[in-house]
Amino acid sequence: VRGPQFRRLKIGAGHRLDVKASGVFVLGIGHGNKLLTDLHNCHLTKVYTVGGLFGKATDDFSDTGKLVEKTTFDHVTREKLERILAVIQGTNHKALLMHSDIDMKTQEAYELAVRGLIRPMGRSPPIITAIQCLQLALPEFQLEIHCLHETQQYLRKVVHEIGLELKSSAVCTQVRRIRDGIFTLDDALLRTQWNLQNIQNAILDCQLKVKTELERTLD
Amino acid sequence: AALRGARRLPPALHRGLAKPAGPQSVRQLKEAEEAAPVFQYVGKAAKRKDRVFVWGFSYSGALGIPSFVKPDAGWKKPRHIQPTPYRLETEEKISSAACGYGFTLLASSTTDITKVWGMGLNKDSQLGFQRSRKDRSKGYEYVLEPSPIPLPLEKPQQTRVLQVSCGRAHSLVLTDREGVFTMGNNSYGQCGRNIVEDEIYSESYVIHQLKEFDSRVVQVVCGQDHSLFRTKKGTVYACGWGADGQTGLGHYNITSVPTKLQGDIAGVNIIQVSSYGDCCLAVSEEGDVFGWGNSEYLQLACVTETTQVNVPRHLPFKIGKIKEAACGGTGNMVLTEEGNVFVWGYGILGKGPNLIETAVPEMIPPSLFGRSDFNPDVRVAHVRCGLSHFAALTNRGELFVWGKNLRGCLGTGRMEDHYFPWRVTVPGEVVDVACGVDHMVSMVKSFT
């Protein structure tokens, strides 16, 4: 019998990725869709590389939007930026503890907090677990953001708010997801590699990783 | 040609304002963007502003905001507790603050005439004499706003106030060249002057000046009813109530004149003294810690079984060189050179609800203060104690509090106790914090 090997495939998507953003996008095929829901319930962090530009403010926080205001930015230094990022990290860490639904008065809450394992296991607003400045070359800068339950527009809004906090303004030029839970850029397939053989190899490589992660979290 | 161009109005009727709407081309957008004006909100040499934030129990006026106690509009209710940090507007930059039992002192190191402001309870004249505006012969019992405290300085335009400290009903002001000024309740000699029987302390003008020490006083600390003075040579003087041995002079009586302490700290160069309740700790230059006073809550149980220690004793802890110590009502805390925090005593110590009391110092894991693989160089820089709560400042300017949340004194926004260090969200970098019984004051620098 001859014909194409697969005629119909059920494909499900993992965490959403914007039109203007890029990076790792997890898809599940066939029986893998059930694994997708399990991975979503693990609530693992995603890592983004966010590029920004000081001096402009637009209505949709990205550089392709309608200009709202232009400001000076020569007073911005790396020290000030790092201070703001430390505060953002601090308040988000507090939100992480508060939304995690664990009673803070118990001994096990203390133990988990010491090990850093407290995280919200249900619905919660977007939380940033870690944020760091990779480079600052005025007017451009690049941040690495580890977050939970976020949308790319929220990350653009964070860039805008950093600009406001520094008494200037900023827009987001690039959002790139470099890690989604356990899948990193190395596992991702480029557009030129979208053929059956590569997809099958990728699935085989990731099977073990997914199994160990699911067992670890859903114990 | 006349028909085709009939849409155009003759030049006299042309207002020249309306442009045809519609999607603008990329070139037009770029030109509009370049022509847009650039706003400057802050210049290159902008300085960071100094601010003061207060929180906790406000009905005594200790927070210094009158609208909390007497609201401006009739329909508003007075605010008894301020659970989150609230900005207090001050005229000068505040360099030192201290919280007592229901009152607060703020001091600035300026050479202007007004150097110290006080607010809160004034029933024992711990804020000096605050003349009432309605009746010029009477004084205020509660001061709702930061009011200047008139100090009897010889050279007011040259002396600077270095530090202030508050106890239960008395306060001390340290100046750089005119000694220490004390005011308030003196029924146990805590103000360093002779006890007058049946003295009425409210609406009193008495501010005593203490100058006779072996060298210049560099730190003043108030316990509940006693006072400690540390001089430049490293000696410690004490006066006041001594029934728990907190004066450290070898007896359990009242002392009304500052007397030098002996015991294990004789000859040792002490670099920091701390006290808030009835127990006292002193840190020496080599990093050893000495304690005396109340030990009912196992604060000094590692050296003695007795519940009161009236002579300074060396506490043999093997936790490293100690940089700073802080005494609370029932628990004590020290900070080592590496930036680790150790707690012991009784109460909510910060290691979960299971640790209620310990005589041996226990370390609080640094991951609770924000240290992680992402930020490996976060260290605790300062430690402070209130009566039943603790505060720690990191080198990043974050404030962590834990302990009993008495009337909202922790400032986290929740009224429950916190059994491990919890961040306080303050809009700025916290430089210093003063803890009281049920309120706290912090000195903060803005971000940019």
B39 lies in a domain? Answer: no
Q: What is the pTM (predicted TM-score) of this model?
A: 0.89
Which residues from A are below 8 Å from B429, CB to CB? 83
What's phi and psi for B424, nearest 5 deg? -105, 130
A59 lies in a domain? Answer: yes
CA distance B374 to chain A (A): 7
pLDDT of residue B12: 67
B359 lies in a domain? Answer: yes
pLDDT of residue A118: 86
A1 lies in a domain? Answer: no
B358 near B366, Cβ under 8 Å? no
Whether A164 contacts chain B with CB within 8 A: no
B32 lies in a domain? Answer: no
A5 lies in a domain? Answer: no
Cα separation, A192 vs A183, in Å, equals: 19
* DSSP code for A206: H
Whether A78 contacts chain B with CB within 8 A: no
A2 lies in a domain? Answer: no
B18 lies in a domain? Answer: no
B330 near B316, Cβ under 8 Å? no
B419 near A106, Cβ under 8 Å? no
Q: Which residues of A belong to the active site?
A: 18
B74 lies in a domain? Answer: yes
Using CA coordinates, name the residue in chain B closest to A131.
Answer: B374
A193 lies in a domain? Answer: yes
B66 lies in a domain? Answer: yes
Average pLDDT estimate for A180-192 = 90
CA distance B418 to chain A (A): 7
Average pLDDT estimate for A48-68 = 91
Within 10 angstroms of residue B229's Cβ, the number of other Cβ atoms is 26
Q: Can you give the CATH number for the domain in which A147 is found?
A: 3.30.2350.10
Q: Look at A105 and B416 and tell me if their CB atoms are within 8 Å.
A: yes
CA distance A110 to chain B (A): 5
Whether the pLDDT of residue A138 is over 90: the answer is no
CA distance B303 to chain A (A): 30
Beta carbons within 8 Å of A143's beta carbon, 6+ residues apart: A49, A50, A51, A52, A85, A131, A132, A133, A134, A159
pLDDT in tens, chain B (448 residues): 455 655 666 666 666 667 767 777 888 888 888 888 999 998 888 888 999 999 999 999 999 999 999 999 889 999 999 999 999 999 999 999 999 999 999 999 999 999 999 999 999 999 999 888 888 888 899 999 999 999 999 999 999 999 999 999 999 999 999 999 999 999 999 998 899 888 888 888 999 999 988 899 999 999 999 999 999 999 999 999 999 888 988 889 999 899 999 888 888 999 999 999 899 999 999 999 999 998 999 888 888 888 899 899 999 988 889 999 999 889 999 999 999 999 999 999 988 899 898 989 999 999 998 888 888 888 999 999 999 999 999 998 999 999 999 888 999 888 889 999 999 999 999 999 999 999 999 999 998 8
Report the number of distinct structural domains present in chain A. 1
Mapped onto helix, strand or coil, the DSSP state of residue A68 is: strand
Chain B residue set in contact with A, beta carbons under 8 Å: 32-33, 36-46, 351-354, 365, 367-368, 370, 372, 374-375, 396-398, 416-420, 422-423, 425, 429, 447-448
Which residues from B are below 8 Å from A109, CB to CB? 352, 420
Q: Can you give the CATH number for the domain in which B284 is found?
A: 2.130.10.30
Cα separation, B242 vs B376, in Å, equals: 45
Cα separation, B249 vs A101, in Å, equals: 52
Select the residue of A74, A90, A116 nearest B367 (Cβ to Cβ): A116
pLDDT of residue B14: 66
Mapped onto helix, strand or coil, the DSSP state of residue B412 is: coil
What's phi and psi for A72, nearest 5 deg? -80, 160
Cα separation, B283 vs B288, in Å, equals: 6
Q: Mean pLDDT for chain A?
A: 90
| Domain encompassing residue B158 | 48-445
- For A62-117, the pLDDT digits (tens) are 988 889 999 999 999 999 999 999 999 999 998 888 888 888 888 988 998 888 88
Report the number of distinct structural domains present in chain B. 1
B205 lies in a domain? Answer: yes
